[in-house]
Structure 1
Amino acid sequence: MGQPATATTGGYKFVIPTAEPKKVASPTMTNIQGWLSGLKTDGDANQLPTIAIVASYDTFGAAPALSVGSDSNGSGIVALLEIARLFSLLYSNPKTRGRYNLLFGLTSGGPYNYNGTQKWLRSFDQRLRESIDYAICLNSIGSWDNELWIHVSKPPENAYIKQIFEGLSNVAEELDLKVGLKHKKINISNPRVAWEHEQFSRLRVTAATLSELSVTPELLESTGGLFDTRQYVNETAIVRGVKLVAESLAVISYDLLVYFNYIV
């Protein structure tokens, strides 16, 4: 036991027994990643470019242990896992691998400034980080009707941002859906980030967040919670989100428009 805490006033003493003070340990950030190697042409000694698909897997609420997070960000996780399953089937055969490496990341610490994402990126060696053309972060895509938003930090004129937007918007048009582009610069002097892609931008990696949310969420807003349950998630919306991202990746990886006939 530590020394009792005391407070004295008016001749009365208030004594509280306290435990020995201990330093609060930093929470453990555990990230999970998967890797699919693309197909190199004969004699190609250069490292293939990489596209990353990322989703933060944890949630937050007034009672953190009871938080559900079916949409934020259960929907993003389900979409990522299904996209990984589809491309693992294609990449399992060397003859049907695309011309990009695909990196899949489930990151922790989403409600805590995406600290897990930052830790994950800093764990990469320089060669891997420089090979990433761009990353697409999936966040809250389980309760939208007809339009998703692409949030970016780099200007829309950036070559990779144009590739992301054009790839998604062209497929969206074929699927009778809409995607919009939202550009918001990051403030380097402010340590807080509103979107996961901003942690990539801080390390000079081009990235975008695909979300049903059209505006930047406030601190700890839309991070799951007790009432973000499955009944408020539209499974059809998640299926459409998977098709949108998977087919846009196929367009880029195989240089042609491929439509998947699959059951999610």
Structure 2
Amino acid sequence: MDIVLNGALGKMGRMVLDACKLKGDRVVAIIERKGHPQIFSMVETQWGALKLLDDAKDVQVHADVGIDFSSPDGAVEFCEAMASLGTPVVSGTTGLSKAHLERMMLASQKVAILWTPNASFGVSCLREVVSLLASILPADYDCEIVEVHHRHKKDAPSGTAMMLAEVVANARGVKVRTGRNATMDQRGGDVFVHALRGGEVVGEHTVLFLGETDRIEVKHTALSRQAFAIGALELARKIVQKPAGFYTIKDLFPGIVR
């Protein structure tokens, strides 16, 4: 695939560059935020020097798909620009608001856009297991979700943790609540999400179902950001085959992800 990469010089962007070389794909255009110190400079890549752009509308080469790991505003602007060019998108940017998602959905009327808070296939499997447990365990098994990430992560709780919490909440007909303090009411069956930040932890998500006589813990630990980069490429191979519309991972793997 020929790829336009947004957030190309960030941690995830660099991982995608490496993953493309590993998987035989090619990045044909690179984009970063406005004000980035290297904007408009020539950046050496595995496919030669590419000019670093600050607006996807300036892309003048053909691409099969756009991949985005940037910021909420940057992700939406990228999706809108790619839609105007007729290029589908996979976005792994987290921290999006309802307004951001609404703009993405509007852009998806022109092209296929997949948004996921976590591109790892392992997390998709975790979601499946959590969905199953939430649907079969008695309601008196309390559910708590703990996520740990590096100190630089801007959003909290993580998009993945909130996605897992929504899976449980929807299965049980309860609410999602973040954190806990002494003034809170009794849990009342709600799903509680807790965020920890420190060091350089790539990402850990633990879902606990706590009963009176036993407990079940399901955990996913990302050992490298490469898992997200490779996952994004695999999702891109699928999204390029889809008609215009807004997609999540469960739309692409209906037999695997609930």
TM-score, normalization by structure 1 = 0.32
| Structure with larger RCO (C-alpha < 8 A, sep 6+) | 1
The structure with the largest strand share of the pair is 2
The higher radius of gyration belongs to 1
